[in-house]
Structure 1
Amino acid sequence: MQIPYEEELCALADAVWETPEPGFREYKSSAAHVEFLKKHGFEVKTDVAKTGTGYEASWGSGHPVIAFLGEFDALYGMNQKADCPSYHPEDPDGMGQGCGHHMLGVGAIAAGMAYREMLKENGGSGTVKIFGCPGEESGSGKAYMARDGVFDDCDIALTWHPANFHMVCTGSSQSCIQACFHFHGVSSHAAGAPHLGRSALDAVELMDVGVNYMREHMEDSDRVHYAITNTGGKSPNVVQAEAEVRYLIRSATNPKCKKLYERVVRIAQGAALMTDTKLEVLFDEGLSNTVPNFALEDVIAKAFQTVGVPTYTAEERAYAKQFKDSFSVEDQLSDIPFGIADIMKLRENIKNSEICDYVVETIHTDHCEMGSTDVGDVSWVIPTATVNTACYSYGAGAHSWQWTAQGKSAIAHKGMIFAAKVMAESAKTLLEHPEEIKKAWDEFDKRLDGEKYECLIPKEIEPHVID
């Protein structure tokens, strides 16, 4: 399996690494993707689902329509000097590709281009679609796209994510809603006329206390996180008239997430009532739990074996070891994902190797991981599955400066190209064996059991940015 224009693709990923941008503002990254795709003969639609930076690139006609999902947004606080094995940000508050999305989008392009070559050789019916999906880290770009029917004409969606392991991603992920709770009070002199003031900060604090009391009465799989984004000022002798807190609410399914969110809203309303302040709730984002598809996972597992793992040079292993050594052995062994068929084999590989150098066998599971992704919304529309490939040393975890630092390395490039090959090989199987697509859809229909996709983002909310 060959990936066309491999050097250009690695250079494109590096260029995106150099210009990290937040969700819905990935202007340079999206433009670079679009320019590359147009240059190589794809028809490209931009501003998909009013996301501004989202795009849809297509080639071919007829079915099957295989979609490759990509991302390109970065993270605040993840700035880091490339290849440096110690924390060395050029701007501690700056952005960086701490989740590998600079490769994620390019890897999807690479897979789509390889699949296009197969369609050309096959000479029959078939369409490749490559989606640039903005705002995965914050904003839920794919949710807007799914809500607006962008994926409705596709048969299968394949995606990948940079990781520490070569493996099929299995299981589910949490539904998630994020909202800002802005309290409006009345300022006054805190000593001279406190009776005239109504403290918005008091309301924020009471809300936080109320939610913390709620934690005892949530399901074990529920998660609620918060950050006070506006404390109302720095003068304690002024009653704070404005204050805001941002909440992120997660649960195993959309209905459960909505109920938990409604409980949080009622607590906020109670805090406003207790402080005689006014409450404004600003809905930020919402994304759905992932619907697993074991049939597609089997296709990917077969593709892993067909393609075979990359080999690493002594120099690449020495490079990875610098980063691996920045973590304790205990930390490395504690970062084992769920669904592993042979945990002891993986533990031994972590102890004895600098980087994952074999395909980790997984067991099908419906287990819900404690995290969220807007890939879940796509999985409610069409059968969807995810490839993981090792782009980083053992020990380093997602949303870390270590991932940013290794993002332009040879092992990162190898992981990206490997993922593209596995996705393209999976697409080849689906093209040559349409019964595999039917099996994926049969499972999809059985899992949904008549339930229809309902986006967690209200219809009146459009893609937006909340800093």
Structure 2
Amino acid sequence: MTTTIDLSKYVSDAIEGKSELFTNASDQVWSFAETRFDEFQSAKLLIDVLEAEDFSVEKEVAGLETGFIASYGTGSPVIALLGEYDALADLSQKAGTAAYSPVTARGNGHGCGHNLLGVGALAAAVAVKDYLKDHPGTSGTIRFYGCPAEESGYGKTYLAREGYFKDVDAALSWHPHSMNAVMHGSSNAVIHGTFTFKGISAHAAAAPHQGRSALDAVELMNIGANYMREHMIDQARLHYAITNSGGFSPNVVQAEAEVTYLVRAPKTHQVRSLFERLIKIAEGASLMTETQMEFKYEGACANLIPNSTLEKVLYKNLTQFGVPQYEEEEYAYAKAIYETLPLQNKQEAEAMVGPQLAGVLTERPLPGFIAPFSDDKETFMSGSTDVADVSWNVPTAQCVTTTMAFGTPLHAWQTVAQGKSTYAHKGMLLAAKAMAATAIESILDPSIVAEANKEFKERLGGEVYDCLVPQDVQPPKRGA
């Protein structure tokens, strides 16, 4: 069996030898900046790379036009690497600058680093493929899951619902961050729904009595939702955006208006209950305004299930490779980005690491260490991720690596600006190495997969995956 040191060198050489391919692909996805379910150029680019690397690719899986699964190898264990490549609306930003400067007004931008995430997981898959090719007779299959719409729409939920992880033995993923660590914790489940109200237009001055305002219905729904916030558990979240206010003429009663909501809670049954209450509030707003209401599911995902067994192997490999070396120019750019952050962001970031470490990181905001791993207590993320739906079906582990300056908030222009930086590339390749080595170890050592699956069953305690997206809800199609 290959030793850990030999394996680390093999993986490092394999990924560094193709680093230009990976960094160029990441930068291209950054420039495409395609939002949920519309990642056609990004998906094609990743598919082209994978096919050139001898993967077989199944396209448009689970009804996802921009979803795919690339496979290499035969037999078990089957190891999944999860890739994302969707951007966010209204976050267009030029790269390499420390000043807000959109490329396109109201354009899209990779404010969560998914250009790095998808290609980093792809790089890991390629390294595992290279190992299997160089070691014929090794039983094992590596799969790269091309997962669209993580930000909203939740492509992995559809993949999980349709059974695409049933024969997988372990899954690995990562996320861009301002620190280096292996995650151990849970997250909020979420349901995303859009509510459309239809009323009757009329002249707001001459014949207001003839009109039935859809905008009034939206406003009343929002007021009701605000009152519901008072009667939710502390960790639950409720947020919205008015996506159609009914027009720009105040002297026309608005005949149609629309609002979209995200409802979050720590458990699937809790978020489902809250969403049902929200539907009742919408129905009440409809009754009060004599308008018609309809809603649709935009997507949903469950809460994360951690797996200490896989996480410990991932942490061992992350520390084996160690943090990258940074140039003074990289520290200078990170420092310039840090100076643009709002005071509250700085204070919260500094509070998380303590005053001594904060004093170092505020001056040189690229962490030169990997945070210690502990599974004594689960952390909790108030946000949501569709990696959770994978974790309900197969043991799953995730790491984060430094791709942005200390304290950088996600979903902000500063994240987009750093998305093509050299230190972002270094963080991406570090994550790829850690995941690739963990995947190969899991293939070579059956006890890892066996122990991870034993823990997985114990954590579920007899519970089964309960998909929050109804069976009759399908992913949207282009032009629909």
Q: 1:336 to 1:387 in 2, by over 3 A?
A: farther
For residue 317 of structure 2, what is the aligned residue in structure 1? 303
**CA shift for structure 1 position 122:** 3.8
For residue 205 of structure 2, what is the aligned residue in structure 1? 191
Q: 1:452 to 1:19 in 2, by over 3 A?
A: same
Residues 1:388 and 2:364 aligned together: no
Which of 97, 112, 116 aligns to 1:99? It is: 112
TM-score between both structures, scaled by the size of structure 1: 0.96
- Given that 2:96 and 2:417 are in contact with CA atoms closer than 8 Å, whether structure 1 keeps it comes out as yes
CA distance in 2, matches of 1:237, 1:243: 15
Q: 1:359 to 1:349 in 2, by over 3 A?
A: farther
CA distance in 2, matches of 1:337, 1:34: 42
For residue 57 of structure 1, what is the aligned residue in structure 2? 70
Residues 1:115 and 2:101 aligned together: no
TM-score between both structures, scaled by the size of structure 2: 0.93
For residue 425 of structure 1, what is the aligned residue in structure 2? 437
- Given that 1:58 and 1:130 are in contact with CA atoms closer than 8 Å, whether structure 2 keeps it comes out as yes
For residue 367 of structure 2, what is the aligned residue in structure 1? 356
| Equivalent residue letter for 2:370 | V
> How do 1:399-418 residues align onto structure 2 when only pairs under 5 Å count?
399-418=411-430
Which of 246, 261, 284 aligns to 2:260? It is: 246
- Given that 2:217 and 2:286 are in contact with CA atoms closer than 8 Å, whether structure 1 keeps it comes out as yes
Q: 1:362 to 1:92 in 2, by over 3 A?
A: farther
CA distance in 2, matches of 1:199, 1:129: 51
For residue 148 of structure 1, what is the aligned residue in structure 2? 162
Query: For structure 1, which segment, 236-245 or 376-385, has the greater mean C-alpha deviation from structure 2 after superposition?
Result: 236-245
Query: For structure 1, which segment, 155-164 or 231-240, has the greater mean C-alpha deviation from structure 2 after superposition?
Result: 231-240
**CA shift for structure 1 position 328:** 5.8
Residues 1:47 and 2:33 aligned together: no
CA distance in 1, matches of 2:95, 2:58: 33
Residues 1:125 and 2:139 aligned together: yes
Residues 1:180 and 2:194 aligned together: yes
CA distance in 2, matches of 1:30, 1:112: 16
For residue 447 of structure 1, what is the aligned residue in structure 2? 459
Query: For structure 1, which segment, 172-181 or 190-199, has the greater mean C-alpha deviation from structure 2 after superposition?
Result: 190-199
Q: 1:337 to 1:229 in 2, by over 3 A?
A: farther
SS at match of 1:398: coil
| Equivalent residue letter for 1:273 | L
| Equivalent residue letter for 1:137 | E
CA distance in 2, matches of 1:236, 1:108: 50
Q: 1:61 to 1:345 in 2, by over 3 A?
A: farther
For residue 238 of structure 2, what is the aligned residue in structure 1? 224
- Given that 2:334 and 2:364 are in contact with CA atoms closer than 8 Å, whether structure 1 keeps it comes out as no
Where do 5+ consecutive residues of structure 1 fail to align?
A: none
Aligned residues: 464
CA offsets 1:364-386 (integer angstroms, 9 cap, x no match): 23332110111111011101111
Identity of aligned residues (%): 45
CA distance in 1, matches of 2:167, 2:379: 29
CA offsets 1:321-362 (integer angstroms, 9 cap, x no match): 221222367633413798xxx756643442342211110113
For residue 335 of structure 1, what is the aligned residue in structure 2? 349
For residue 282 of structure 2, what is the aligned residue in structure 1? 268
CA offsets 1:366-409 (integer angstroms, 9 cap, x no match): 33211011111101110111110001111321111111111111
| Equivalent residue letter for 1:23 | R
SS at match of 1:218: coil
- Given that 2:186 and 2:379 are in contact with CA atoms closer than 8 Å, whether structure 1 keeps it comes out as yes
Query: For structure 1, which segment, 318-327 or 296-305, has the greater mean C-alpha deviation from structure 2 after superposition?
Result: 318-327
**CA shift for structure 1 position 187:** 1.5
CA distance in 1, matches of 2:408, 2:346: 8
| Equivalent residue letter for 1:100 | G
For residue 320 of structure 1, what is the aligned residue in structure 2? 334
- Given that 1:172 and 1:290 are in contact with CA atoms closer than 8 Å, whether structure 2 keeps it comes out as yes
- Given that 1:71 and 1:134 are in contact with CA atoms closer than 8 Å, whether structure 2 keeps it comes out as yes
CA distance in 1, matches of 2:303, 2:447: 27
**CA shift for structure 1 position 119:** 2.3
CA distance in 1, matches of 2:356, 2:124: 30
CA distance in 1, matches of 2:297, 2:28: 33
For residue 8 of structure 1, what is the aligned residue in structure 2? 21
For residue 178 of structure 2, what is the aligned residue in structure 1? 164
- Given that 1:307 and 1:425 are in contact with CA atoms closer than 8 Å, whether structure 2 keeps it comes out as no
